[in-house]
């Protein structure tokens, strides 16, 4: 893609093009997975009042750039992974804002995984400010341009595959902890895995 085309490419259009390839990839992993853009996901469920039988609540939602979800029976689905996108740059304010958004979404969906994905960053790689201020991100990724090299696509696919499996494992650990015959663990470990540019 030429430099002029990169400058004209909007984050929304770029997210849509990435999502198409992600959708193809994840449906090969499991036909119940799907990816979409601009989907709204709850970040709070405020209780307005209680009575003896019902609770009146109000749900608030944020739009996500890329949402990967798992379809269940009927029309039900579970959000598994949110990827927020930026093009050309990401500043400290972006990192803090998206990290806070991730925190709010994960509070409502404790098994949800969250990432920051930046395109057209040139040879600079991932800025330290994203690592410093993105404490709620489960992964961060920066491509040299918006097309992505084979190495960059492979890294994205590998991360997405791992994060989907982690989301499922988290849900199982959180909600099936009293089930008879459940898997039991004595430790959990969250590593930091860097992907070198060269």
The pLDDT score that the predictor gives to residue 54 is 83
For range 17-39, the mean pLDDT? 97
**pLDDT tens, 43-75?**
999 999 998 888 889 999 999 999 999 999 888
pLDDT band at 5 (very low <50, low <70, confident <90, very high): very low
pLDDT over 60 (residue 113): yes
Distance CA 60, CA 105 (A): 10
Strand arrangement, sheet containing 33-37: 33-37, 66-71, 77-87, 113-119, 139-142
- The half-sphere exposure of 192 on its side-chain side, counting CA atoms within 13 A, is 4
Look up the pTM and report it: 0.90
Q: Could you tell me which CATH number the domain at 3-173 has?
A: 3.40.1350
Buried b (16+ CB within 10 A) or exposed e, 32-52: ebbbebebebebeeeeeeeee
The pLDDT score that the predictor gives to residue 9 is 79
pLDDT band at 3 (very low <50, low <70, confident <90, very high): very low
Q: To 10 degrees, what angle do helices 11-29 and 150-175 make?
A: 70
H or E element: which one contains 157? helix 150-175
Please answer whether residues 27 and 166 qualify as being in contact, where contact means their C-beta atoms are separated by less than 8 angstroms: no
Please answer whether residues 143 and 152 qualify as being in contact, where contact means their C-beta atoms are separated by less than 8 angstroms: yes
pLDDT over 60 (residue 31): yes
Distance CA 64, CA 39 (A): 6
């Amino acid at each position: 893609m030429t430099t002029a085309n990169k400058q004209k490419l909007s984050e929304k259009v770029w997210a849509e093009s990435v999502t198409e390839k992600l959708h193809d990839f994840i449906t090969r992993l499991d036909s119940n997975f799907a990816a979409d853009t601009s989907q709204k996901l709850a970040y709070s469920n405020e209780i307005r009042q209680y009575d003896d039988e019902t609770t009146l609540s109000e749900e608030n939602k944020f739009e996500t750039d890329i949402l990967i979800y798992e379809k269940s029976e009927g029309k039900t689905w579970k959000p598994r992974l949110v990827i927020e996108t930026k093009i050309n740059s990401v500043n400290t304010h972006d990192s803090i804002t998206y990290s806070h958004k991730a925190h709010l979404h994960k509070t409502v969906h404790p098994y949800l995984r969250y990432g920051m994905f930046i395109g057209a960053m040139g040879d600079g790689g991932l800025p330290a400010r994203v690592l410093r201020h993105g404490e709620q991100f489960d992964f961060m990724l920066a491509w040299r341009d918006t097309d992505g090299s084979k190495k960059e696509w492979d890294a994205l696919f590998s991360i997405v595959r791992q994060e989907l499996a982690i989301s499922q494992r988290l849900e199982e650990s959180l909600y099936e902890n009293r089930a008879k015959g459940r898997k039991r663990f004595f430790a959990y470990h969250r590593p930091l895995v860097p992907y070198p540019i060269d």
